[in-house]
Structure 1
Amino acid sequence: MTTSAARSAGHPLRELCESLLSRLEELSVTVTDDIRREIPSYAAMPLAEQLDTVRSRLRALLRGLALDVEPTAEQLLEIRAESLRRAYYGLPVQDALATFHVGARRLWDELRATARGTAAEDTAIELVAPLWLWVQSASGVVADAYADEAGTRYGREAGLRQRFLELLRTGGAPREHTAEIARELGFDPDGDFRALCTPAAPWAAEGHLVLLQRAARRLAGRVSCGLSGQLMVAVTQGVDPGDLVTRVIGLAGDEARVGVGLDRTGLAGAEMSIADAERALVVSERGGHATSFEDVWLRASLIDSRDRLEPLFAAVRRTAGEQPQLAQTVLAFADAGLSLSHAAEALMIHPNTVAYRLGQWHRLTGSDPRTFTGLVRSVVGITG
């Protein structure tokens, strides 16, 4: 396809472009230096490879301008392949796009300087439109290549994250297989892991889990999010749990409940931390904040034994429901370090009244809160 009739030999603009083609090596070095100076991320790309790419792109561009033709399909495919290489080196798409603008700016300056005093001086401005057309065509290919690469990479990573979570929750594969997936996701299999979980419902909507994973990328450390049954589970390493909780609640809503596990070592520790987080979530009482297993470990640890232990707490729970004032006094006594006077201050009553209520509690429940066993049974029964 052409933008107009191809320029014939001897045309001033064709000769101008061919003049720069004769200096291709020098110009390629100059443009490469400009790019590496203005876009620091290109330091990650081998200099020789970048120089070859710049040389190839400038040759195609100058020949296109000389003949007044648009990029061919073959040239656009070459640009696509080069863009995928830049994605491989981890260069951001905005930086890959910026190289075309840096190169076009330098090329335009060289064209104007070379045109001075020649037959092309008054008509060099005609090269602006075709030059911009080449930049637009190349930029579109780069953007599409990055979008395709991102989609492929995200789809693969999403599959790995889901598989990693399934293996941690079921333990149904050799440990080395799980470790291999952990490494692919950027985790150290022998490092410390911490898990968070929250009800899955808010994350079932299209794209919500993607938004959380994207937000987590801005945190220090590694995060892998996935859905498992009725839960959304995030496995983390080197991440401040408070920062991630803030993002979870920000996306799931102020009523979201979050359970946080302990920091535990290795893949076995990651499994245990997920279990911690699940149990902490079960005993969480309100949304908008995180419940840490560290703070509720006793109640959370008894979740699976609720039915078996029910006879131990039946009298305590019945009395707490019938005599909430006595239950409140037991909890205040526990919080006060078993001090009658401190508990009395907290409740704004006389210490003798605290002692009387504790005695009544013992009489009604059979559990003496002034002994270790009786106090534990009382507190667990009241709060569990």
Structure 2
Amino acid sequence: MDTASDGSARAIRRVGEALAGRYAEIGQAVAARIVDEIPGYRDAAPELIKDLRAGATATTEVLARTFAQGSTLRREDLGFVRDLAARRVHQGVSLEVFIHAYRVALLAYWDACADEASRLGISREAGFALARSAIDGIDTITTQAAEAYLREETRLRTQSGRAARDLVERLIDGQPIDPGRRHPAAPGLDPTGQLLTVVGRVEQTTLPIGDALQLARDALEQSPSLATIRHGELVVIFAGTSPRARIASLRAARQRTIEEHNIDVRYGVSVPSGGFASVQQAYREAALALSYTSPGRPIVALDELSALECALIGATAATKAIIASKGSNLRALSDDDLAAAVETIRAFATADLNVAKSAEQMHVHANTVRYRLQQIATKTGHDPRTFAGLVDLICILETADRR
């Protein structure tokens, strides 16, 4: 006499045989349900939908055959699932959407199992056993699919990251790149089109610099056409001609990294440049603009620099040495006095030599500003209350910051 377990096993085999006889029909129904319930597939290209139907049919067949044979799914039975998962990575289907499809497939497949179980009149115990087998089978397939997806995604990201880094290094070094075709590492960039180069560096974080830069890279609203992390900095090359629009997106990305990860990144932006051949110079421009960033000015585009700042950029080493020598008395101040002097000089310049506005900016009394200005004039020999004296002091500070 058969035991209850034997009876359940025989019932599951009967259901499996019935499902195996119509696996193609069930597979198409599963695919249709996925397309209907998941927006990520609803608007997919015809090639992806065709592949989805083939995958759903193959999955239904292997499950039905496993039930009919009374066996257990093995890893070697699921090579097609791993291949399918790898294709989904290249087809641009996210992991969330991919796994969601398997959840929908489980429900659709179980509906087919339940219909056959009802038609065949299997016992309640056999029905429970059938449900466990169906769930275990789909769980095995889903696990294999997720692992394969992540492996391929990691492989592709590593390969893509290496290719992007190599291309950026070649561009920064000024090595020639074929202008006649788009580079595989940057298919969104026209090698002869207008480009903007951005350099970012972490100013504050509790994370390793590489991890912080990766989070900063991920925070960018639009996927950059070409980005890599090199020598402790993030280098991003965008297609476009508007530094102003790019600064807006960088500002939003920077704010997200601060709010979500407590990472402060500063950015320098080049002027628009012409194609890959110009990236070497554009990188220098972006790095130079980055050197002018500050807590109050965390993103700087080269074309935003003042005429004085631009003049100092082009100053010869001899000119910079002469300017620096004029700041010996300023540098001789104590650390506290120097910090107060620098703050006051910059605030006074920003406020257009207005004492009241300077005081408001520094959150001090106007008399404090007047006292500091007098002390700076006395101790440095440069009177910031005069145009010539203030220009001298600003040049000294800018040259010192760039040394």
* Distance in 2 between residues matched to 1:71 and 1:329, nearest whole Å: 75
Structure 1 residue 329 displacement after superposition = 10
1:1-384 matched pairs, under 5 angstroms: 11-42=10-41, 43-44=44-45, 45-116=47-118, 118-122=120-124, 123-174=126-177, 176=179, 180-181=183-184, 183-184=186-187, 186-189=188-191, 190-198=193-201, 205=209, 207-216=211-220, 219-222=221-224, 224-229=226-231, 231-237=232-238, 239=246, 240-247=249-256, 256=264, 258-265=266-273, 266-286=275-295, 289-296=298-305, 298-299=308-309, 302-303=312-313, 305=315, 307-310=317-320, 312-313=322-323, 316-318=326-328, 379-384=394-399
Q: Which runs of 5+ in 1 are unaligned?
A: none
**CA distance in structure 1 between the aligned counterparts of 2:178 and 2:16, rounded to whole angstroms:** 62
Amino acid at match of 2:158: G
- Mapped to 2, the partners of 1:75 and 1:327 lie a distance apart of 72
- TM-score, with structure 2 as normaliser: 0.71
Q: CA separation of 1:366/1:149 partners in 2, compared to 1, >3 Å: closer, same or farther?
A: same
Query: Does the Cα contact within 8 Å between 1:200 and 1:227 map onto a contact in 2?
Result: no
CA contact (8 A) 1:260 1:290 kept: yes
| TM-superposed deviation, 1:134 | 0.8
Contact persistence 1:179–1:267 (CA under 8 A): no
Shift of the 322–111 alpha-carbon distance from structure 1 to 2, 3 Å rule, reads closer
Partner Cα distance (2:204, 2:342) in 1: 35
- State the Cα distance separating 1:104 from its structure 2 match: 2.4
Distance 1:15 1:228 in 2: 61
Residues 247, 292 of structure 1: alpha-carbon distance in 2 compared, 3 angstrom cutoff: farther
Partners of 1:198 and 1:258 within 8 A in 2: yes
Tell me which moved more, 293-302 or 327-336.
Answer: 327-336
Q: Contact between 1:12 and 1:119, CA under 8 Å: does it hold in 2?
A: no
Are the equivalent residues in 2 in contact too, given 1:260–1:277 (CA < 8 A)?
yes
Structure 1 counterpart SS, 2:176: coil
Whether the 8 Å contact between 1:223 and 1:234 is mirrored in structure 2 is no
Query: Matched residues in 2 for 1:292 and 1:276: separation?
Result: 9
Cα distance in 1 for partners of 2:271, 2:96 equals 37
* Structure 1 residue 69, shift from structure 2 partner: 1.0
Alpha-carbon distance in structure 1 between the residues aligned to 2:181 and 2:174: 9
SS of residue in 2 equivalent to 1:226: strand
- What is the RMSD computed on CA atoms of the aligned residues? 4.4
User: Contact between 1:283 and 1:299, CA under 8 Å: does it hold in 2?
Assistant: no
What's the secondary structure of 2:200's corresponding residue? strand
* TM-superposed deviation, 1:70: 1.3
Among the aligned pairs, what percent are the same residue? 18
Equivalent residues, number: 362
SS of 1:90's partner is coil
Relative distance call for 1:116 and 1:321 in structure 2 (3 A) is: closer
Amino acid at match of 1:39: I
Please say if residues 70 and 133 of structure 1, whose CA atoms lie closer than 8 Å, have aligned partners that are also in contact: no
> SS of the residue aligned with 2:201?
strand
Task: State the 1:138 CA deviation.
Answer: 0.5
CA distance in 1 between counterparts of 2:258 and 2:227 reads 14
Aligned CA distance change for structure 1 residues 30 and 20 (closer, same or farther; 3 Å):
same
**Structure 1 position 64, deviation (Å):** 0.9
Unaligned runs of 5+ in 2: 241-245, 360-365
1:180 is displaced (CA, Å) by 1.4
Partner Cα separation in structure 2 for residue 108 and residue 67 of structure 1: 18
- Residues 169 and 246 (structure 1), Cα distance of their counterparts in 2 relative to 1, 3 Å cut: farther
User: Is the Cα–Cα contact under 8 Å of residues 261 and 275 in structure 1 kept in the other structure?
Assistant: no
Q: Secondary structure at the match of 2:179?
A: helix
**Change over 3 Å in CA distance of 1:142–1:383 after alignment to 2:** same
Shift in Å, 1:171: 0.7
Amino acid of the structure 2 residue aligned with 1:232? E
Q: Distance in 2 between matches of 1:329 and 1:118?
A: 89
Give the aligned residue type for 2:255.
T
